[in-house]
Amino acid sequence: MFKKKTFWLALLLSLIGAEILFRSVGRIDENGNFRFGTRTLKPYHLPLPEVNRRLNTYQSGDSTSFIVYHRQLGWIPRPDFESESGWYVHNQQGFRVARLGRQYAAKADTGTIRIAIAGDSYVYGDELPFKESLGAQLEHHFRQDSLPAEVINFGVGGYGLDQAMLRILLQSHQYDPKVVVLGLQPENLYRNLNLYRAFYTKMARNPFFKPRFHLKNNSLQLANLPCPAPGEITALLDSFPNWPLASLEHFYQASDYQAKVYRNSRLLAYAEDVWRENRFNRRKEEAEFMAPDGEAAMLSMALIDSLANYLYQREVLFMVVHLPRKPDLRDRMEGHPFPYQSLMDSISQCPSILWVNPAPALQEFAENESINALFEPRQHYSGKAQSIVAKHLYRTLKDENPGLRDRYFSFYLPSKESL
């Protein structure tokens, strides 16, 4: 009996000690959310104070943020902008460029092929100086072979495939590209089902809403357009459960925001979060989320197919390039398939799309050198990874599938003799 009492007493004291440790090491942010390490514990609180602060700063005329509100896209790179480091420069047209003042004419110079690259921060080139970004390195490969090319970077941090597609639809015709490259970064599948960033990441660094496509009778429908203006966002979030479009926010679950007795314990709230999301169930949950008959994969394929049809009608060559994340490469190195393999297969079989997959080359480098050398601290591609992707794009454009190129336009690249 004494041993049993001692055991239960020791267990109770251990739990009390763990609870005290969690409370002392964790922190409560300005929104009232309790954070322990990288985890935000339930019950969640909507980030109204942080959103309010960021929106007030934005509306006061602050010019230091990288992005500005856009009624059709949610946000775009701030035009005519240069960061303190000098790494990130946007021209007046809202594209990332090497230097202020670099503008793009309505058409490329005669004999120059113009390429538009679209996607998220991987395409934009976060954590890299301009010369190491994908667009700059792709241009470099062409010029090394004395083939004049011009790459316009439509990439924007935080974009889903939906926003990347919409930016091409809205703006590409103004610049007449002969090739459009869409970067498929697997996290895009999650963002396509998201309306407001803070529901997805539990962070509110980006205070703007985004548009959201959904499928109705196998047809694409666009909702939340125009996107709520900065002055409308706080009130909308404050009454979010009553918003008619709230059901389209895949990552909003009312129960996550409800106070429950066991959540008064930080230890139990942490255990709940770890049970829900850990490295052992990540692969299984991603495979289920990205299953071929699920909304994420079906919507992504519908978006890509819609863009492919649009560009085909305009005789623009459409390429989709696979941009695997660090966990995806680790999975492949361990012999596991990509959780979105079925989507890749569907894209590669589409006759109006040129599929580019640099994953084997990235994996080979990771196995022979280092996977860490392919990624920057915040998990964006390093200059080396961008170089591998750029080389694959260049080789595909220059050497492969000439029949597909001819179907889109008779003039592709000038011969070296004509230069």
Beta bridge partners of 100: none
Q: How many domains does the chain have?
A: 2
Q: What is the pLDDT of residues 215-258, one digit of tens each?
A: 999 899 999 999 999 999 999 999 999 999 999 999 999 999 99
C-alpha to C-alpha distance for 112 and 109, rounded to whole angstroms = 5
Q: In this model, does residue 266 exceed pLDDT 70?
A: yes
Q: Are residues 52 and 22 in the same domain?
A: no
76 and 192 belong to one structural domain? yes
Residue 413 lies in a domain: no
pLDDT at residue 400, as a whole number:
64
Both structure tokens of 227:
């996107």
Q: What one-character-per-residue DSSP string does 107-156 give?
A: SPPTT-EEEEEE-SHHHHTTTS-GGGSHHHHHHHHHHHTT--EEEEE---
Residue 281 lies in a domain: yes
In the chain, the N- to C-terminal Cα span, in Å, equals 94
41-45, 367-371, 411-415: the lowest-pLDDT one: 411-415
Q: What 3-state DSSP class applies to 176?
A: coil
Residues 200 and 256 sit within 8 Å (Cβ to Cβ): no
Per-residue pLDDT averaged across 29-42, rounded? Answer: 89
| pLDDT exceeds 70 at position 273 | yes
Domain check: are 333 and 385 in the same one? yes
Q: How many CB atoms lie within 10 A of CB 393?
A: 25
Query: Is 182:119 a contact under the CB 8 Å cutoff?
Result: yes
Cross-strand bridge partners of residue 70: 74
**Structural domain containing residue 21:** 2-30
Please check the confidence at residue 313 and state whether its pLDDT lies above 90.
Answer: yes
Both 24 and 99 in one domain: the answer is no
12 and 94 together in one domain:
no
Is 39 contained in some domain? no
**Minimal CA–CA distance to 216: which of 298, 317, 333?**
298
97 assigned to some structural domain: yes
Q: How far is C-alpha 136 from the chain's CA centre?
A: 20
Q: What is the DSSP letter of 144?
A: H
Determine, yes or no, domain membership for 142. Answer: yes
Residues 263 and 342 in one domain: yes
Instruction: Please check whether residues 221 and 257 belong to one and the same domain.
Output: yes
pTM of the full predicted structure?
Answer: 0.92
When pLDDT is averaged across residues 192-207 and rounded to a whole number, the result is: 90
Q: Can you give the C-alpha Rg of the chain in angstroms?
A: 24
Q: Do 19 and 57 fall into the same domain?
A: no
Q: Looking at the structure, do residues 269 and 389 belong to the same domain, yes or no?
A: yes
The CATH number that applies at residue 331 is 3.40.50.1110
pLDDT (tens digit, 9 = 90+) per residue, 146-187? Answer: 888 899 999 999 999 999 999 999 999 999 999 999 999 999
138 and 165 in a common domain = yes
> Helix or strand or coil: residue 251?
coil
With CA atoms as reference, report the closest residue to 32 among 54, 56, 55, 51.
51
Indicate whether 271 and 190 sit together in one domain.
Answer: yes
Total Cβ atoms within 10 A of residue 265: 17
Q: Is residue 417 situated within a structural domain? A: no
Q: Is residue 83 part of a domain?
A: yes
Residues 297 and 352 in one domain: yes
